[in-house]
Amino acid sequence: MLIAAGLHKSFGKGRSKVHVLRGLDLRVKRGEFLAVMGPSGCGKSTLLHVIGLMTSPDAGEVHLDGRRVGSSESERARLRRSHVGFVFQRFNLISVLSARDNAAISLRVRGLQRNGRIDELLTSMGVAHVADRKPGDMSIGEQQRVAVVRALAHEPALLLADEPTGNLDSDNSRSLLELLRDINTRRGQTLVMITHSADAAACADRVVQMKDGLIVDR
């Protein structure tokens, strides 16, 4: 599903230039749940942005769902909209919209028609009862589940989760991880999760360790 080969990414110029990814290689099988762990500053979030096609590498290649991703922003944007879903640590729900409308945003920005999939997902994720509520009227756990619904609404080939339990307490973290595991198992969803939590990583099929911009343990 995903091949990253020889990825390099730097920020800044001259003496302030920081090399974040240093020739990183990574392969993710279709239907796999992969966790990427590593200390702060090792490049995990930068890796997520590159394989999620939000930014281009300085060097190296990304292949997604059998196709090589080109360097043009328009191509990356097209593939990102059609093939990738994101679950963020801070949810990023729109405060003035209901849960249903927040999830439907995923379809609207892709030019897709709203359909019954939104309500189906809200039900399967256990949050049908908050469909008409705004984020301020939901619990933290409910907000995170709605964020997952939004990420899945367009049926992405690859789901990326960036520290998804970072803002959750133990009970909600456990509930969300069980949900992600179920999505992977029952739907065959390919999933890459960035995390610093060993407990979270334990839910994955495979765990890799990052250090200094490289995968050091597969």
CA distances from 184 to 29, 139, 160, 198 (A): 12, 24, 12, 19
Domain extent at residue 109: 2-12+21-217
Model pLDDT for residues 40-88, shown as the tens digit of each residue:
889 999 999 999 999 999 999 999 998 899 888 899 988 998 899 999 8
pLDDT band at 160 (very low <50, low <70, confident <90, very high): very high
Number of domain units in the chain: 1
Closest CA to 97 of 150, 133, 138: 133
Give the Cα separation of 180 and 91 in Å (integer).
15
Does residue 113 register a pLDDT over 70?
no
- Assign 3-class secondary structure to 150-204: HHHCCCCCEEEEECCCCCCCHHHHHHHHHHHHHHHHHHCCEEEEECCCHHHHCCC
Does residue 115 register a pLDDT over 80?
no
Output the pLDDT for position 168: 83
Report H helices in 84-167: 99-108, 117-124, 140-152
pTM for this predicted structure = 0.90
| CATH number of the domain within which 76 lies | 3.40.50.300
Output the pLDDT for position 101: 92
Does residue 218 register a pLDDT over 70?
no
R_g (Cα) of the chain, nearest Å? 17
Does residue 140 register a pLDDT over 80?
yes
pLDDT band at 213 (very low <50, low <70, confident <90, very high): very high
Output the pLDDT for position 19: 92
Does residue 114 register a pLDDT over 70?
no
Output the pLDDT for position 111: 67
CA 157 to chain centroid: 11
Q: Which of 18-32, 103-117, 142-156 has the highest mean pLDDT?
A: 18-32
Output the pLDDT for position 28: 97
pLDDT band at 105 (very low <50, low <70, confident <90, very high): confident
Over range 162-191, report the average pLDDT: 90
Q: Which tokens sit at 203?
A: 């839910």
Q: Which tokens sit at 201?
A: 């990583």
Output the pLDDT for position 217: 76
Output the pLDDT for position 35: 97
